[in-house]
């Protein structure tokens, strides 16, 4: 039976895979696993019952799914603070800020509007490790908590949720954004209410697009997965830079004044160098996933910054940051984690600090991004193969070794089985596009033959 939890919670078609019944049951199981025993801080605050923060992005299905989650928690003896529509990182921050026992975010991030998801955060606003998710999944088939009378939980509105988050973001800035013109694409998502406000409060002149969520237009032609409207707006308004969020605002990509995309790797490089200059980059180390471009690694080496790589997924970046007590990490996709200020990827925090580097240094975003020379990267998805045989195939291993020897220090090879499909991803970076394409296609052909399904 496939695992219910994916790399970022439970996600699928709303009212299909992600049903009211599932939302209710997951909430009740989470109450069993995460609601046992109040923290010392909760006892100090004289809370009689465990407390959970519940929030959502603006997609229409979030209305009934968040209601189901709140009902499941309250019926299990958990007090619910309903924060309404706020970014995922805001929910994570608020869990820690009010010393809640855990929290639930209803969002499918960058997915289209028909999808939705359930993300569960532990005490402190941190993502759950695999073993805790497994315990929650196991608890779905076990008896639920069923208090009566005064034992049932209460559901209340979290009235100052957004204000707390905005004040937190502003308190982190190393420089005001005075004089900067920033275009913000809110993806018709959870950032629409808060991102323009916080950038303006930080001193920037703000122009906004993608800020009219109606429940069904989230990520629809806008946001971090559709950067063309933002690039056009930055040029049309003569702005200094553009910031793009995804539906739940846990990621950030950018556009420079010329309309050029500044991706996650370049954003991490800019922040890492700025943090090093300000003395807040712990151990002079940046954490990335294996998908980050070789150009980032070479640029960081040139500036005396080490890189630690993890498997794909921001949760694994977070685990490495915690294990090594580091302050910055992220993914090529724009999930950037600044552990001094957040417990998860935060697109608003990232965008603010990126703009602050422009203000602090007096350089354009293009100048700051130029420290990274991005190498051509080719990704070939080899479908319909037996992905489970990849690790044990000596012929493929020998072909990869040969390709790496051909590329030397100016290239990289990565073969990765899909976690959800019968597919192997072949990624090659090289000094030029032609070489990257040739090597990727050669390896893909070998994988296709060697792992063919009988």
Active-site residues, by number, are: 109
Q: Which two tokens stand for residue 416?
A: 């990765």
Per-residue buried b or exposed e for 25-44, using 16+ beta carbons within 10 Å of the residue's own CB: bbbbbbbbbbbeebbeebee
The span from the CA of 183 to the CA of 244, in Å, is 9
- Residue 25 labelled as part of a binding site: no
- Residue 246 labelled as part of a binding site: yes
First to last CA, the chain: 23
Collect all residues with Cβ–Cβ distance below 8 Å to 168 and sequence separation of at least 6: 93, 97, 341
- Residue 250 labelled as part of a binding site: yes
The span from the CA of 98 to the CA of 87, in Å, is 17
3-state secondary structure of 281: coil
- Residue 248 labelled as part of a binding site: yes
User: How far is Cα of residue 87 from the mean position of the Cα atoms in its chain?
Assistant: 11
**Residue 149 near residue 75, CB atoms below 8 Å:** no
The span from the CA of 406 to the CA of 116, in Å, is 44
| Gyration radius (Cα) of the chain, Å | 23
Q: Which two tokens stand for residue 428?
A: 């090659």
The span from the CA of 308 to the CA of 288, in Å, is 6
Which uninterrupted H or E stretch holds 203?
none
3-state secondary structure of 404: helix
Query: Which residues participate in the annotated binding site for Mg(2+)?
Result: 109, 246, 248, 250
Query: Which residues participate in the annotated binding site?
Result: 109, 246, 248, 250
């Amino acid at each position: 039976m496939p695992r219910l939890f994916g790399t970022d919670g439970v996600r699928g078609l709303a009212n299909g895979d992600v049903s009211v019944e599932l939302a209710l049951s997951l909430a009740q199981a989470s109450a069993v696993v995460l609601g046992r025993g109040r923290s010392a801080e909760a006892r100090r605050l004289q809370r009689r019952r465990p407390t959970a923060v519940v929030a959502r992005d603006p997609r229409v299905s979030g209305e009934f799914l968040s209601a189901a989650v709140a009902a499941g928690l309250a019926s299990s003896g958990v007090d619910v603070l309903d924060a309404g529509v706020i970014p995922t990182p805001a929910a994570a921050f608020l869990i820690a800020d009010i010393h809640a026992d855990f929290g639930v975010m209803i969002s499918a991030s960058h997915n289209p509007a028909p999808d939705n998801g359930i993300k569960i955060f532990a005490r402190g606003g941190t993502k759950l490790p695999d073993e805790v998710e497994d315990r929650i999944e196991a608890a779905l088939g076990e008896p639920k908590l069923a208090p009566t009378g005064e034992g049932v939980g209460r559901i209340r509105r979290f009235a100052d949720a957004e204000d707390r988050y905005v004040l937190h973001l502003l308190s982190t800035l190393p420089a005001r954004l005075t004089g900067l013109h920033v275009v913000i694409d809110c993806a018709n998502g959870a950032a629409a209410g808060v991102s323009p406000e916080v950038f303006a409060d930080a001193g920037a002149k703000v122009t906004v697009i993608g800020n009219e969520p109606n429940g069904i237009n989230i990520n629809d032609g806008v946001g971090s997965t559709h950067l063309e409207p933002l690039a056009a707006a930055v040029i049309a308004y003569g702005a200094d830079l553009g910031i793009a969020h995804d539906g739940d605002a846990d990621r950030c990509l950018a556009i420079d004044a010329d309309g050029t995309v500044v991706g996650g790797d370049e954003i991490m490089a800019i922040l890492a160098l700025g943090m090093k200059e300000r003395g807040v980059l712990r151990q002079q180390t940046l954490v990335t996933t294996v998908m980050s471009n070789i150009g980032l690694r070479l640029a960081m080496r040139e500036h005396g910054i080490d890189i630690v790589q993890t498997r794909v997924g921001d949760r694994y970046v977070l685990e490495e940051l915690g294990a090594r007590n580091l302050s910055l990490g992220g993914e090529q996709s724009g999930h950037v984690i600044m552990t001094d200020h957040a417990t998860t990827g935060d697109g608003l925090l990232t965008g603010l600090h990126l703009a602050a580097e422009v203000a602090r240094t007096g350089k354009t975003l293009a100048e700051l991004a130029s420290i990274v020379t991005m190498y051509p990267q080719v990704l070939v998805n080899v479908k319909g193969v037996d992905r489970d045989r990849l690790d044990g195939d000596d012929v493929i291993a020998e072909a990869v070794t040969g390709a790496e020897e051909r590329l030397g220090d100016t290239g990289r090879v990565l073969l990765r089985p899909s976690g959800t499909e019968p597919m192997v991803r072949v990624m090659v970076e090289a000094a030029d596009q032609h070489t990257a394409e040739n090597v990727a296609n050669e390896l893909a052909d070998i994988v296709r033959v060697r792992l063919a399904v009988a």
